[in-house]
């Protein structure tokens, strides 16, 4: 039932301007709830419209056609106008003056409403609209870019394949260089976003866009840097060993002198964020089986995995509305190839955007993205208001998806799914090395390069003329990587990375997620499965499913710090990751004995 003062769902501001003042906590809570009910209803409707437009923008990109971008701009603006309206800001601030009179769930909603308003405040004038348009222009330019090698068109997937498999150094350099050409066109747009993002959050008192995003974690910009730098320091001794090992291994592979720093085009990833392709673990590559079973089987098996844990089947619309498979190279349109999960209506319309390929690597990606989907569905319950239907923090979402990816590649799990033969003999140390080349290597990249670049961009306000120099200084410091050729300021290599343009100032989410992965996985392995964390099988264990549901279902309705403490009894720390890779550390120290280290002992 609506509060008497509300004639329509959008008439939100009257709740404290026209209604009689609350005389006790019960009346205050009733007024507050009426406001929140109306807000949540309108919030969901506009959120859905905006996501539908974004979905089209990302799944059907036609070169030269700006129609969908205009539709998306309008939907973005409508959503921004609502969340940032003066009425909503005034209302949230009014109720938060008397938090003792509200329920904890109401307080949390008002705090979230005010936080969302901070990104799109009406008091910023046309800055918000200009920022939205600038970001969508960047997105379309990045994902609509046509890559070429020697004048011939190639997909981004082909570039990735060359870097992952080829030993032809000239071809590798051509592929790596081709992957950076889009940065030229994105540089001016990034300059606009830098200024517009900072300006859009200023009216509600945020120092800059980096500070704004940090506040979602309940941290200041400096506290985020302290946390991410702590992660780097914790894993640095192991990363230093991995870096030394890679320099010598790759020099031998390419028959070149051992370099002081890793040439970027020697690595199997465009940004050097993932080195797993440097190692092939015999017995654990099941590409052939996946090709036989096909990409549709991979997708359905992802659902089967979660069903085995006790989760419900996915909504039928997931299968009819998702974009799970690659667009043909001769297609008249392209799409965003970055795998992602979408919660379009904050309820049951869940979708995934992928380009599933029958590879061992993509097997874990499928389970990762489905992890997001099941997290969405878990907190889409009547107890969680729409505005709080999110992860406990942004890192939690990535953690659960990534943890499932990790678990899906452990030997007992694979044997149980007949993806590898029973009692397969493997080199466990090599398997640990391959995992470290993913999870550990990512920390200096995500916590170091990406986070520190965005800190420089938004906090230090580096000029456009210093983008590329700043980027490569950070890459060398944190990753120990150098470009294969001189990279002048005509380029903007930072902007070739997805999250610099869209979903910005949040890359430390992945670092936080990687840390949480090992904390949660260690807890599940030791306390629920009673298995070695290096050799688990989640499949079919309803107790694991119940534990995950318990952590997922509250969404953002509770403090993430308290949720972490009550679920696994720990604060956030990389110690579980360090412990997991302890056997590998011993191995690498032996292998690297007598080799020259480039990176310092401490970062």
Residues with a catalytic annotation lie at 369, 499
How far is Cα of residue 316 from the mean position of the Cα atoms in its chain?
26
Q: How far apart are CA 408 and CA 363, in angstroms?
A: 8
Q: How far apart are CA 186 and CA 151, in angstroms?
A: 21
Does residue 241 contact residue 588 with C-beta atoms inside 8 Å? yes
Q: How far apart are CA 353 and CA 367, in angstroms?
A: 13
The label of the residue with tokens 């059907």 reads: 60
Backbone angles phi, psi at 128, to 5 degrees: -65, -45
Backbone angles phi, psi at 546, to 5 degrees: -65, -40
486 is in an annotated binding site: no
Which residue from 438, 441, 384 is spatially nearest to 556, judged by alpha carbons?
384
Which residue from 553, 563, 525, 557 is spatially nearest to 541, judged by alpha carbons?
525
521 is in an annotated binding site: no
The structure tokens listed for 375 are: 């997290």
Q: How far apart are CA 175 and CA 274, in angstroms?
A: 17
> DSSP readout, 277-326?
GG---TT---HHHHHHH-HHHHHHHHHHHHHHTTPPPPPHHHHHH-B-SP
Which residue from 34, 7, 10, 12 is spatially nearest to 22, judged by alpha carbons?
34
455 is in an annotated binding site: no
Q: How far apart are CA 191 and CA 375, in angstroms?
A: 35
Q: How far apart are CA 441 and CA 272, in angstroms?
A: 8
454 is in an annotated binding site: no
The structure tokens listed for 140 are: 């379309």
β-bridge pairing 262-263 and 481-482: parallel
Binding-site positions for Zn(2+): 368, 372, 398
Binding-site positions: 217, 368, 372, 398
Binding-site positions for chloride: 217
């Amino acid at each position: 039932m609506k509060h008497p003062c509300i004639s329509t769902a959008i008439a939100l501001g009257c709740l404290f301007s026209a209604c009689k003042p609350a005389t006790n906590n019960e009346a205050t809570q009733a007024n507050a709830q009426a406001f929140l009910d109306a807000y949540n209803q309108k919030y969901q409707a506009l959120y859905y419209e905006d996501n539908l437009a974004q979905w089209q923008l990302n799944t059907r990109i036609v070169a030269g056609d700006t129609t969908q971008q205009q539709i998306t701009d309008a939907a973005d603006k409508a959503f921004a106008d609502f969340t940032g309206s003066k009425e909503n800001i005034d209302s949230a601030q009014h109720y938060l003056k008397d938090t003792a009179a509200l329920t904890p769930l109401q307080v949390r909603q008002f705090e979230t409403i005010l936080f969302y308003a901070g990104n799109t405040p009406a008091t910023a004038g046309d800055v918000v609209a200009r920022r939205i348009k600038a970001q969508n222009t960047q997105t379309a330019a990045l994902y609509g870019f046509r890559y070429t090698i020697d004048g011939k068109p190639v997909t981004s997937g082909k570039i990735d394949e060359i870097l992952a498999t080829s030993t032809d150094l000239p071809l590798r350099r051509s592929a790596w260089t081709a992957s950076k050409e889009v940065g030229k066109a994105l540089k001016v747009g990034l300059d606009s976003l830098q200024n517009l993002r900072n300006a859009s959050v200023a009216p509600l008192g945020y120092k800059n866009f980096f500070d704004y995003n940090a506040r979602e974690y309940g941290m200041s910009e400096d506290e985020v840097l302290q946390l991410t730098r702590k992660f780097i320091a914790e894993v640095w001794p192991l990363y230093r060993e991995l870096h030394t090992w890679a320099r010598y291994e790759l020099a031998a592979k390419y028959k070149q002198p051992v370099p002081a720093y890793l040439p970027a085009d020697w690595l199997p990833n465009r940004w050097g964020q993932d080195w797993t392709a440097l190692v092939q673990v015999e017995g654990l590559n099941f590409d052939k089986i996946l090709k036989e079973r096909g990409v549709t089987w991979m997708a359905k098996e992802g659902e089967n995995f979660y069903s085995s844990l006790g989760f419900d089947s996915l909504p039928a619309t997931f299968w009819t509305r998702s974009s799970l498979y690659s667009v043909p190279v001769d297609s008249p349109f392209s799409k965003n190839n970055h795998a992602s999960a979408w919660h379009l209506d904050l309820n049951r319309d869940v979708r995934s955007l992928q380009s599933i390929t029958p590879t061992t690597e993509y097997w874990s990606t499928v389970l990762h993205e489905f992890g997001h989907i099941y997290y969405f569905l878990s907190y889409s319950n009547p107890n969680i208001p729409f505005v709080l239907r999110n992860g406990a923090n942004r890192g939690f979402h990535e953690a659960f998806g990534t943890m499932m990816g990790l678990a899906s590649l452990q030997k007992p799990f694979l044997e149980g799914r007949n993806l590898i033969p029973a009692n397969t003999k493997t080199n466990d140390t090599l398997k640990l090395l391959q995992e470290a080349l993913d999870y550990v290597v990512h920390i200096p990249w995500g916590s170091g390069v990406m986070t520190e670049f965005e800190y420089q961009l938004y906090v230090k306000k580096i000029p456009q003329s210093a983008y590329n120099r700043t980027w490569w200084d950070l890459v060398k410091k944190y990753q120990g990587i150098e470009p294969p050729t001189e990279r002048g300021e005509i380029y903007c290599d930072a902007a070739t990375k997805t999250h610099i343009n869209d979903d910005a100032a949040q890359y430390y989410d992945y670092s936080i997620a990687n840390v949480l992965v090992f904390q949660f996985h260690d807890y599940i392995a030791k306390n629920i499965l009673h298995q070695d964390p290096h050799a688990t099988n989640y499949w079919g264990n309803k107790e694991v499913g119940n534990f995950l549901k318990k952590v997922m279902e509250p969404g953002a309705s509770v403090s993430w710090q308290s949720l972490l403490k009550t679920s696994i009894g720990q604060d956030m720390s990389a110690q579980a990751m360090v412990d997991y890779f302890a056997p590998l550390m011993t191995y690498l120290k032996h292998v690297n004995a007598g080799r020259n280290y480039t990176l310092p002992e401490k970062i």
